[in-house]
Structure 1
Amino acid sequence: MSKKIVLNGLDVFLLAQKSLYIPQYNLLVISDWHLGKLQHFRQEGIFVPAPDPEEEFQKLKVLIEELKIREIIFLGDLFHSKWNKHWDLFKSFIHNYRYQIQFILTVGNHDILEERHFKDTALELKHHHLLPEGIVFSHEPLLGLEDHLYNIVGHIHPGCLVEAGARQTLRLPCFHLEGKLLTMPAFGKYTGLHILQVNGKNQLFAIVGDSVIELK
């Protein structure tokens, strides 16, 4: 179950798949995938489980097909570090949709692949992307924005603590809205959480299973 919020009159749906959907534009937004992270660690000699990126590709494929997506914005940190074979798997995946979907990457601090790796992809690289309604997408918050603009960002991997009874506490990814800044959870499976709390000035929308629930 998704959670609908309205930003500058535009319906925006927060999805339990750690992504955001704007039906007016058939637009899907994904942040901080950090593809290739485990493969990077293994190449550096750090023992981690063997990664299976196909699981995450399949999750994205379902969203594309069910929501009839026409545009995808990756809010930075798409790939974790230097090139490894998972980048080629990603290129093959988006190549299948190159005539159907416009792909945009608002470049993040982890997007350090050499320019040649991007040249033969369907990705358009930008610093930020603006919708006519006054919604601007970027990896990190932009300074000096006009007061009417909402800024949708990633970068910090927001999370929250939810009491689960029997003295148990769950650490869950969440969306964080404070003022005109909406921070998205990390799409990637192997990312940490920056724990936030409700403070009276913000709203936290926790991803609990297949639902997105506002914390009070």
Structure 2
Amino acid sequence: MQITIQNEKLLLSSEKIIFWESKSALFLADAHLGKSTHFRKAGIAVPSRLVFSEIDRLKALIDEFRPQHIYFLGDLFHSHLNVEWQLFVNFVKSYPSHNFILIKGNHDILPESSYQIQNFTCEKEPYLLEKFLLSHHPLIPDELKKYPDTTNLAGHLHPGIHISGKGRNNLSLPCFAVSANQLILPAFGRFTGLAKIRPKKSDAIYAIANDKVIEIKQ
């Protein structure tokens, strides 16, 4: 689904990313790479295929949208170093003409040397990108006042919307949550949970149902 923010057209994808075509920029939040391996080491049964599936999704998105710049809005890697980080490093190196930018989140705790990849850079939040203010944690109103006429793109919350149907049919769906000066992305990682949000009536909610993005009327 295409929406317009700051007079710019943004594509919201059912793959839980945003594509800004005019700037050839792709945004995603909360990939939490490494989480499946972390859990497997702890003796929790997690399908081994999950180790590779998120990287495969990233490759498919680059092949589909052909962005020049890929922005990770925090929590790229879930925990301490494991085999999945090397898989990610190899992935980045396979796209030498692309720019990968990480806005560090609370889970991004790897040694600084781990991030020293030729076409990969780290930035602290908030990071101003023209009309958009990139962060991992959603900025509070007092912080947003310092950057007038911008929209904050953030993650961290893993937003989900609860939908009640007829009878006892209930459904929780990941969503993009849009307010006057903020857009919260759903968690990209599939091995993550959802946090139920309570949007205001003035907010716009775009839920992901199967392979579609649908607007939820409040």
TM > 0.5 fold call: yes
SS in 2 for 1:173: strand
Q: Which residue of 2 aligns with 1:56?
A: 54
Q: Which residue type is aligned with residue 34 of structure 1?
A: H
Q: How many Å separate the matches in 2 of 1:215 and 1:65?
A: 30
SS in 2 for 1:86: helix
Instruction: Please tell me whether the aligned partners of residues 39 and 51 of structure 1 are also in contact (alpha carbons under 8 angstroms).
Output: no
Q: Which residue of 1 aligns with 2:115?
A: 118
Aligned pair count reads 212
Q: How many Å separate the matches in 2 of 1:62 and 1:16?
A: 13
Q: Which residue of 2 aligns with 1:26?
A: 24
Residue segments in structure 1 that go unaligned for 5+ positions in a row: none
Shift of 1:164: 5.1
Q: Which residue of 1 aligns with 2:177?
A: 176
Instruction: Please tell me whether the aligned partners of residues 197 and 204 of structure 1 are also in contact (alpha carbons under 8 angstroms).
Output: no
Q: How many Å separate the matches in 1 of 2:111 and 2:49?
A: 23
Q: Which residue of 1 aligns with 2:105?
A: 108
Residue segments in structure 2 that go unaligned for 5+ positions in a row: none
Change beyond 3 A, Cα 1:109–1:118: same
Which whole-Å deviations, capped at 9, do the CAs of 1:101-137 have from their partners, x for residues lacking one?
11000000000001111123532000133222x1111
Matched, 1:204 2:172: no
Shift of 1:158: 0.2
Provide the alpha-carbon RMSD of the alignment.
1.6
- Equivalent of 2:138 in 138, 141, 159: 141
SS in 1 for 2:15: coil
Instruction: Please tell me whether the aligned partners of residues 33 and 54 of structure 2 are also in contact (alpha carbons under 8 angstroms).
Output: no
The TM-score with structure 2 as length reference comes to 0.91
Instruction: Please tell me whether the aligned partners of residues 34 and 80 of structure 1 are also in contact (alpha carbons under 8 angstroms).
Output: yes
Shift of 1:40: 1.0
Matched, 1:7 2:5: yes
The percentage of counterpart residues that share the same residue type is 38
Q: Which residue of 2 aligns with 1:215?
A: 216
Q: How many Å separate the matches in 2 of 1:38 and 1:16?
A: 22
Instruction: Please tell me whether the aligned partners of residues 36 and 51 of structure 2 are also in contact (alpha carbons under 8 angstroms).
Output: no
Q: How many Å separate the matches in 2 of 1:203 and 1:87?
A: 35
